[in-house]
Chains A and B, each alone.
Chain A
């Protein structure tokens, strides 16, 4: 076994790029949990549908590789983002309407089961449409990138990191500065009091699912290009990672989800790089760290232990 001399910074870059994607998906879990205390298990599969949409949009436009004209590239990205963000937001809202809303006053296990059911339905429809194996998706970014300090950052990774920072800042501003954001926070604090103050709870819940879905849609476009494939089972794998990120950061806390996503991405990259047979062990190490963190900080890295609501 020869240790790879991939530089420390390069490994960090790999981790940050995949961590940014985990973080975007983790936000969808944490937003929904913050508002209605439900783990939306179908969220990962909603994300997977974004990768399938990316596959079909690029296929329809007969794009098989890098797009060299920068304007064309930007136009294509805007198109993909709009389609996938709308689609994922739409699916998330439909899942909420069909699987969660009718069960809002049911015991807490009921929506959990319907969430798993929704996840299976989304997975199996994708299985029916694209088949059981990963389907290759082209990366529309040119292969080259920026390099220096022993790190090379592909254009795609640059876009992933910058774009997710923009989305996260926008989300943070939306939640902390706007009227709707304040309404969301109030619903998260106390649903009944918020409704007495004139906040339309149903509307806030739909907005929450829309936001989560749109972030997953944005992540799905760049993810499909990064791993260059669409696979019906992706939602389970990545969904579990992102959910872990949300819990690690402190579920319900959006800054926690961002931190948790980056943390998991970076740890994974370092395990793959520096542990013998790290590729096989990466998932085990990530979940072991989750378990350890939860033993010492049960509410997650940034979570606050709240007293049980009455």
Chain B
């Protein structure tokens, strides 16, 4: 009796030690003499927001597939993570932080593309910074992630996001929500002629921050904010009453700052059910998102939104057309709104890795971070380099979309 009990204990002990050793060994990351390297992705790829997350994940998959063989005995693979949790019913910051911890433990992973949501980014950045893991987000737009002046207003502690003594490891492709808020305010005030707007956000740092910026610029233009409320995916039962309240304020338009799983589409459906037939304006959390159309049904008509990335119809150059063709060949459908940003983010990391290999240097996470700070890259979305904050110093564009005949239709491009 005693004997087998002890044997099990020994076996457990050995297993535990092995796991600990492997985990420690994974800390540094990278190899010097060839081997398998990996880029990790972190996107919402299940639930409502999968319609945005999967095309972004595909963008990375395409770039990695095209560069599987890096030369000098190096190969490249992609490892995908999902930051949706059942507890939140959408992208979950805690899940994101856990994912990054797992990435740090995996020796193969030298860089990451993601996440999609700013709130998730805020939870991931401190973990990734301490593990010196380079991350490029194709879609984060909250200004507080990179700019100290905006951090506390968005509920972030800048020192936590950028711990001192660790390299600045966070970079992003799109413009931020100060710009997007202005672009959205212009849609409402100038393009739609709205003067009185009711504002709803989804309580996430992205949604709340975007709504704040919208309010600021809309009021600067001379518009009036009729009221402001916050909703989450758990509030669906109360949306009819909210729609009824909004109806009583007689708005010219309703602004929704948030992602689709926060309830934007369901809110639009309730508004129309309560005879509020005015435009809804939103940001890249709903614009060009097919899940929004599904949630709002026939009520989706008359919704406007901005995406911090160029539209496919503006892709006229050779490499841009090549990207669209390659994407279609690989996944059997058109690229999503953030596919090109993701592709560029991955290609920048791949370029940095290739340069290190070419120069005969060790491909480590830290070496990649250093390389990203000085990289100059001509991508599908334009010329990209990063400023000292990790923001894209290249040209930033917004694409404006509107729902027409049940489809997101490209309206125009705005240079910010």
A interface residues, Cβ below 8 angstroms from B? 1-7, 10-11, 14-15, 17-18, 64-65, 127, 131-134, 136, 138-139, 143, 152, 154, 223, 226-229, 231-234, 237-238, 241, 268-269, 272-273, 277-280, 282
Contact check, B237 vs A279: say whether CB atoms are below 8 A apart. Answer: no
Contact check, B47 vs A231: say whether CB atoms are below 8 A apart. Answer: no
Residue in B196, B239, B273, B296 whose CB lies within 8 Å of A143: B273
Contact check, A132 vs B241: say whether CB atoms are below 8 A apart. Answer: no
Residues on A with C-beta less than 8 A from B250 are 5
Contact check, B231 vs A279: say whether CB atoms are below 8 A apart. Answer: yes
Expressed in whole angstroms, the Cα–Cα distance for A252 and B268 within the complex equals 39
Q: How far is the CB of A249 from chain B (nearest CB, A)?
A: 19
Q: How far is the CB of B260 from chain A (nearest CB, A)?
A: 8
**CB contact list, B168-222 vs A, under 8 A:** 196
Residue in A133, A227, A228, A229 whose CB lies within 8 Å of B47: A133
Contact check, B233 vs A65: say whether CB atoms are below 8 A apart. Answer: no
Expressed in whole angstroms, the Cα–Cα distance for A3 and B240 within the complex equals 17
Residues on B with C-beta less than 8 A from A5 are 248-250
Contact check, A237 vs B89: say whether CB atoms are below 8 A apart. Answer: no
Residues on B with C-beta less than 8 A from A241 are 237
B335 within 8 A of partner (CB):
no
Q: How far is the CB of A27 from chain B (nearest CB, A)?
A: 18
B230 within 8 A of partner (CB):
yes
Residue in B86, B89, B239 whose CB lies within 8 Å of A227: B239
Tell whether A4 pairs with B248 under 8 Å between CB atoms, given A134-B233, A143-B273. yes
Residue in A1, A65, A231 whose CB lies within 8 Å of B236: A231
Contact check, B249 vs A228: say whether CB atoms are below 8 A apart. Answer: no
Contact check, B244 vs A6: say whether CB atoms are below 8 A apart. Answer: yes
B367 within 8 A of partner (CB):
no
Contact check, B236 vs A229: say whether CB atoms are below 8 A apart. Answer: yes
Residue in A4, A154, A223 whose CB lies within 8 Å of B247: A4
Expressed in whole angstroms, the Cα–Cα distance for A273 and B233 within the complex equals 20
Contact check, B227 vs A1: say whether CB atoms are below 8 A apart. Answer: yes
Residues on A with C-beta less than 8 A from B98 are none
Expressed in whole angstroms, the Cα–Cα distance for A154 and B265 within the complex equals 20
14 A-B residue pairs with CB within 8 Å? A1-B226, A4-B246, A6-B245, A7-B248, A10-B244, A11-B244, A18-B240, A132-B84, A133-B233, A134-B48, A136-B297, A231-B236, A272-B238, A279-B242
Residue in A3, A223, A229 whose CB lies within 8 Å of B266: A229
Known: A134-B48, A269-B244, A279-B229. 6 other contacts (CB 8 A): A5-B250, A6-B248, A133-B261, A138-B297, A139-B273, A223-B237
Expressed in whole angstroms, the Cα–Cα distance for A269 and B274 within the complex equals 15
Residue in B48, B233, B244, B294 whose CB lies within 8 Å of A14: B244
Contact check, A6 vs B247: say whether CB atoms are below 8 A apart. Answer: yes
Expressed in whole angstroms, the Cα–Cα distance for A231 and B226 within the complex equals 30
Residues on B with C-beta less than 8 A from A133 are 47-49, 89-90, 233, 261
Expressed in whole angstroms, the Cα–Cα distance for A127 and B244 within the complex equals 30
